[in-house]
Amino acid sequence: MRDVLSDLIVAAARDDERFVMLSGDHGYALFDGIRAERPAQFVNVGVAEQNMIGVAAGLAKVGFRPCVYGLAAFVPIRVLEQIKLDLCQSRLPVMLLGDGAGLVYSTLGVSHQCGEDIACLRPLPEIAVYSPCEAAELTACWREARAADHPCYIRLGKADQPTVHASPLADTAPVFTHRTPADAGGVVLIATGSMVSPCTEFARREGVACVSVPRIKPLPAELADICRSAARVIVVEEHAGTGGLWTSIVEQAARRKDAGAATPVVESLALESAFTQTSGSWQQSLREHGLADDQLAARLRSLIAASERNGA
Amino acid sequence: MSSSIGSPSKVQSDFDPRALRRHVLRMAYRGQSVHVACAFSIIEICAVLYGRFLRYEPRDPAWPDRDYLILSKGHGVMAMYACFYEIGWLGDTDLDNYFKDGTHLRGLCEADVPGCEVTSGSLGHGLPIACGIALGLKRKGSDRRVYCIVGDGEMNEGPMWEALLFAAHQKLDNLVVIVDANQFQAMGRTEDVLGLEPLAAKFEAFGCRTIECDGHDPTALERALSSFATPCGRPGAIVARTLKGQGVSFMAGDNCWHYTRLSDEIYGRAMSELS
């Protein structure tokens, strides 16, 4: 996914003189391409993220199309007020890339981990929130964000997860990564970002459906239909259980005006409300939250078995 | 006064500081607003900028070729409104209905008010945005200039120093930072709350070409601003020595006028001093 991102950045710089890439002294090899080919369009603003958002706002005010890169722990978390006031209030076309979202920086500790970015941005007016799982989704999200006339945040989680989409995507609508003959009336897993790959693998193995959600805000309306047609929905995300994809889906279901049919049961598998305690691999950090591959599969199996026992 | 849209419209007329202060009092009284003293300390700075330096279009605050005045210390916004009234961007209705239900002028600088470029009620935002604007204008090869008024109390904020490092590193010599060094912040003397002096030396050390002057002396301000007309590869800084509440005898240097509303009697006394 990072190679594709680097290519997208270089292509944007090449195609659009207004494109300026800003980094708060992070990114390393990600910016080798643009620094070699379009050095003037890359600005390392230094370890000064608050100023970086203000600078991006100022550049956008005079016609540039800035893209701001940081680790998700810093962009958006450290600079949330700058995003709200400098970017969102004036609806400026600035792209934000939050890298290493979730528990990717498992060895570096809590300062570099971020399970709250979606929840922090969703209530802000004007900003769109994307959470691509791999290169095809990233490309679709990037294309949409580049064309937008408002701020956009692209959440970048674990970058080397297996590919799930066989071909490029036309847009950022929810996309089935596995379908079954019994989609309607059966179990549907809904996942975003890093959790799409393990959920898809589980779905293929166990014969349930799986949907990936690359755009979380605004939440696509189709998700409500998918939920209504399923007997049981399980939402899986490497994000806090509050304020992320599960919350978005439950809110959407509750707000449906044509309610009458029962609201579907929507389960949540997400990060626990706890900081990680141990170092080690990404899987080890996920294990603290019950989301390591084997734990995830076991929990999904158990939820599905319970729903079958209850006659769903 | 030049006025044709599409051509530089540097206004060569002085704004009367006494009139500007009367506009501020009128708004503050009608709206029962606080922050009178925060506006009074930047009256001469705004008067000289709008009167002598800024290129703008009297009929269109969003004129695309304008110079930028960024008020980073949003608490002084009534001084901006007073200038907007003189220019014609605001009218009597705006001043007399300040803070009435449904009106659009707020008590702090808001980006959606024509003429106000940024939202700066939360301090530490305006200068970083001014740096981005200055960088963008330089990249375009534009000769448009960026002026940014910051508060001395505002210099408590970390992003202000981040922005100064950036401005010097990027050689933003189309940017002039004007510090309203009025010696007070919300709850006390700036030197007692979080000492900043020697302020001019700090700006110089951060890479700005720095001039210190009397911020209530239009001639001194004009001389200081003129000295930045020729780009020198460094951002400019003016430490304007001012007094919070300047212009009304019983308000000058009394920090209670940061947060006190005007009674009928006080309003009358203050206005009579400025008549």
Q: How close is the nearest chain B Cα to the Cα of A276, in Å?
A: 29
Residue B94: which domain range? 17-274
Question: Hey, what amino acid is at B239?
Answer: V
Of A52, A62, A81, the CB nearest to B133: A62
Asked if pLDDT for residue B3 goes beyond 50, the answer is no
B141 CB within 8 Å of a chain A CB = no
Which residue on chain A is closest to B64 by alpha carbon?
Answer: A62
CATH 1.10.340.30 applies to domain A2-155: no
Is beta strand A215-217 parallel, antiparallel or unpaired with respect to A128-130?
antiparallel
Interface contact B166-A63, CB threshold 8 A? no
| Residue A258, pLDDT score | 62
Interface contact B162-A56, CB threshold 8 A? no
Could you tell me the CATH number of the domain that includes residue B234?
3.40.50.970
Which residue on chain B is closest to A63 by alpha carbon?
Answer: B136
Query: How many other CB atoms are found less than 10 A from the CB of residue B15?
Result: 22
Interface contact B111-A64, CB threshold 8 A? no
What integer is the mean pLDDT of B190-195?
A: 96
A202 close to A297: Cβ distance less than 8 angstroms: yes
Question: Does the residue B21 lie in any domain?
Answer: yes
Question: Does the residue B7 lie in any domain?
Answer: no
Which residue on chain B is closest to A20 by alpha carbon?
Answer: B136
Average pLDDT, chain B: 94
Domain with CATH 3.40.50.970 in chain A: 2-155
Q: Please give the radius of gyration of chain B, using alpha carbons only, rounded to the nearest integer.
A: 17
Interface contact A46-B162, CB threshold 8 A? yes
Rounded to 10 degrees, the C-alpha dihedral B254/B257/B262/B268 comes to 40
- pLDDT bracket for residue A311 (50, 70, 90): low
Q: How many domains does chain B have?
A: 1
pLDDT, tens digit, for every residue of B130-151? Answer: 999 999 999 999 999 999 999 9
Rounded-to-integer distance, Cα A284 and Cα B214, Å: 62
Asked if pLDDT for residue B9 goes beyond 50, the answer is no
Rounded-to-integer distance, Cα A291 and Cα A294, Å: 8
- pLDDT bracket for residue A195 (50, 70, 90): very high
B166 CB within 8 Å of a chain A CB = yes
Asked if pLDDT for residue A277 goes beyond 70, the answer is yes
Question: Does the residue B64 lie in any domain?
Answer: yes
Interface contact B136-A56, CB threshold 8 A? no
Q: How close is the nearest chain B Cα to the Cα of A51, in Å?
A: 5
Facing residues of A153 across strands? A96, A129
Of B127, B136, B165, the CB nearest to A59: B136
pLDDT, tens digit, for every residue of B196-238? Answer: 999 999 999 999 999 999 999 999 999 999 999 999 999 999 9
Chain B CB contacts of A40 under 8 Å are 139
B140 close to A28: Cβ distance less than 8 angstroms: no
Which residue on chain B is closest to A65 by alpha carbon?
Answer: B136
Chain A CB contacts of B119 under 8 Å are 85-86, 89-90
Asked if pLDDT for residue A309 goes beyond 80, the answer is no
Domain with CATH 3.40.50.920 in chain A: 175-309
C-alpha triplet B130, B108, B209: angle, nearest 5°: 30
Interface contact B119-A63, CB threshold 8 A? no
Rounded-to-integer distance, Cα B90 and Cα B77, Å: 13
Spell out the long-range contacts of B95-104 with Cβ–Cβ below 8 A and sequence spacing 24 or more: B95/B23, B95/B26, B95/B27, B95/B30, B96/B26, B96/B30, B97/B30, B98/B27, B98/B28, B98/B30, B98/B31, B98/B33, B99/B30, B99/B31, B99/B32, B99/B33, B100/B31
Is beta strand B184-185 parallel, antiparallel or unpaired with respect to B175-181?
unpaired
Q: How many helices (H) and strands (E) does chain B have?
A: 11, 7
Interface test with B, best of A25, A86, A92 (most B CBs within 10 A): A86
Interface contact B128-A61, CB threshold 8 A? no
Contacts of residue B55, Cβ cutoff 8 Å, sequence gap at least 6: B8, B9, B10, B65, B66, B67, B144
Asked if pLDDT for residue A261 goes beyond 70, the answer is no
Interface contact B131-A86, CB threshold 8 A? no
Asked if pLDDT for residue A260 goes beyond 80, the answer is no
Total beta-carbon pairs less than 8 A apart between chain A and chain B:
92
Interface contact B129-A50, CB threshold 8 A? no
Enter the ipTM: 0.94
Interface contact B132-A85, CB threshold 8 A? no
Question: Does the residue B8 lie in any domain?
Answer: no
Which residue on chain B is closest to A84 by alpha carbon?
Answer: B119
Question: Hey, what amino acid is at A165?
Answer: H
Please report, rounded to a whole number, the percentage of residues in chain B having pLDDT higher than 70: 95
| Residue A264, pLDDT score | 75
pLDDT, tens digit, for every residue of A69-113? Answer: 999 999 999 999 999 999 999 999 999 999 999 999 999 999 999
Rounded to 10 degrees, the C-alpha dihedral B193/B195/B200/B206 comes to -110
CATH of domain A175-309: 3.40.50.920
Asked if pLDDT for residue B5 goes beyond 60, the answer is no
Question: Does the residue B9 lie in any domain?
Answer: no
| Whether pTM exceeds 0.90 | yes
Interface of A with B (CB under 8 A): 40, 43, 45-46, 48, 50-64, 66, 81-82, 85-86, 89-90
| Residue A180, pLDDT score | 79
A104 close to A161: Cβ distance less than 8 angstroms: no
Q: How close is the nearest chain A Cα to the Cα of B247, in Å?
A: 33
One-character DSSP codes across A109-160: -GGG-BS-HHHHHTTSTT-EEE---SHHHHHHHHHHHHH-SS-EEEE---TT
